[in-house]
Amino acid sequence: MADQLKVLFAAFEAEPFAKTGGLGDVCGSLPGALQKAGVDARVILPKFGTIPQEYRAAMTPVADFRVRLAWRDQYCGLETLTHRGVVFYFVDNEYYFKRDRLYGYDDDGERVAFFSKAVLECLAHMPGFFPRVLHCHDWHAALVPVYLRELYGGADKYRDIKTVFTIHNLKFQGVFSRFYLGDVLGLDGYPAAADQLAQFDAINYMRGGLNYADAITTVSPAYAEEIRTDFYGERAQDILNRRRNVLTGILNGIDSSAYDPAADTALYALYTADDLSGKAENKKRLQAELGLEVRDDTPLAILVSRLTEQKGLDLVVRILDELPGENMQLAVLGVGDKKYEDAFSHFAGKYPGKVAARLAFDERLSRKFYAGGDMILIPSLFEPCGLTQMIAMRYGTLPIVRETGGLKDSVTPYNQFTGAGTGFSFKNFNAHELLDTVRRAIQVYSGDRPAWERLMKNAMAADFSWNASAEKYTALYRGLLKA
């Protein structure tokens, strides 16, 4: 359709091609939901060396050309592949992208700058498609709005492009030496860019997206409010408050069909909200596999997470000596900082049959955890959106969360008077508040099983599909084009 809204996502990650976290989930799933909403949404990302060969072999070359990056003149190839009805474009440059991992190199600033410049050059080589909106994700694509306005804004077709910049995690901003401004970005002759990118004696790529984009979004409404404060603002709160009128929080979703206890082949037994007997079987089998006491009358709390400070694990460690004294068990699945791995290993050895720890990331085992657990601990210090609470609810496992970011937006606290709710929550980053909330959940599980079952069914009925997110993004895009 000639008048169909055309949107191009620019990102470093998109599942199933490249993923280290939630960014890959969003850019792999949201475009498909936008397609169903009538938007021609496509994605452009680097052609990483880590992309599975089955996808690399299916890519079709589109064009090759040169990209100027300061004094460098670099090769750029453009390839394409349609996956699940969505067109993906891949920026090819083996020097920058044929590596063993996505990030963590000394020249990441140069790699990101090349990608951002290449995105805009690629627009001239996409037959039948020219986006009206460029949707840029995290600091890896934050320079796209900068280059668009400073270097391409005078060109006829580029002049009317609108830009959206989405913050997935404000903590990671891409800060580099001020030397990069001229030697890497080629923007030393652009005083506005120099000013908008500056952070003390360095340059900050994310500030480019925050200052230049026509609209800014985050991955939950609560996080959009939080990042305007000193505690969560990561030194960007002044910009975010100045641009608060173009800042919106839109809650992420999950692929509901991919997390379905009635069809998930990783589970010990299948089940639905109408017949929860399979969930009891999953719990029994998981307890046995982990070496825990096989008991239905004891609630099993799970923790499925990267083991990092952000996830609030200090609170869990502080109360671990008290949890085995309660009528509950704890099973941990994850990998990360050594201090947390050591702590959970220690407590698993100290309390055999009550605490278990699997220090690895295993996708199939994680699904067994979601299906076999009664509750999941997510006491995050901060959480832009979070997906584990949504996944857990799909499997009828009730979240115990701290009220921050997307956790606050997606989990409704249990109301003992009305029976409403999908989990339990506490407000302050405090170990005693976490312990009190765990005890409250245990009390409901042990003392009022009908209420617990209602909560499970409420959680399983919650709609976290991408449809609602797609509707809100579509409205945002159309609003920008009318402005």
The neighbour count for residue 339, using CB atoms within 10 Å, is 12
3-class DSSP assignment, residue 248:
strand
So what's the pLDDT on residue 22? 86
**Which residue is it, tokens 């050591």?**
342
Domains in the chain: boundaries: 6-253+467-482, 256-461
- The answer to whether 69 and 93 are in contact (CB under 8 A) is no
3-class DSSP assignment, residue 441:
helix
DSSP character at residue 39:
-
The set of long-range contacts for 144-148, using a CB threshold of 8 Å and a minimum separation of 24, is 144/10, 144/116, 144/119, 144/120, 144/209, 145/208, 145/209, 145/212, 145/213, 145/214, 146/116, 146/187, 146/193, 146/196, 146/197, 146/208, 146/209, 146/212, 147/116, 147/117, 147/120, 148/120, 148/212
So what's the pLDDT on residue 323? 85
Architecture of domain 256-461: 3-Layer(aba) Sandwich (3.40)
Q: At what angle do helices 277-290 and 363-372 cross, to 10 degrees?
A: 120
* 427 is annotated as contributing to ligand binding: no
Q: Name beta bridge partners: 6.
A: 40
So what's the pLDDT on residue 304? 96
So what's the pLDDT on residue 221? 98
Give the Cα separation of 444 and 206 in Å (integer).
45
3-class DSSP assignment, residue 368:
helix
Q: What is the mean pLDDT of each run of 10 residues along the chain (483 residues)?
A: 86 95 92 97 98 97 97 98 98 97 96 98 97 98 98 90 98 97 96 96 98 98 98 97 98 93 97 96 98 96 96 97 90 96 97 96 94 98 96 98 98 96 98 98 96 98 95 98 87
So what's the pLDDT on residue 324? 79
Same fold, 6-253+467-482 and 256-461: yes
- The answer to whether 144 and 116 are in contact (CB under 8 A) is yes
Give the Cα separation of 172 and 366 in Å (integer).
26
Give the Cα separation of 438 and 376 in Å (integer).
10
- The answer to whether 286 and 369 are in contact (CB under 8 A) is yes
Handedness of CA 268, 467, 386, 299 (dihedral sign): negative
- The answer to whether 21 and 12 are in contact (CB under 8 A) is no
So what's the pLDDT on residue 2? 53
3-class DSSP assignment, residue 330:
strand
pTM of the model: 0.93
So what's the pLDDT on residue 219? 97
Q: Can the peptide bond before residue 16 be classed as cis, meaning omega within 30 degrees of 0?
A: yes
Give the Cα separation of 301 and 446 in Å (integer).
13
So what's the pLDDT on residue 325? 83
Which CATH code is given to the segment(s) 6-253+467-482?
Answer: 3.40.50.2000
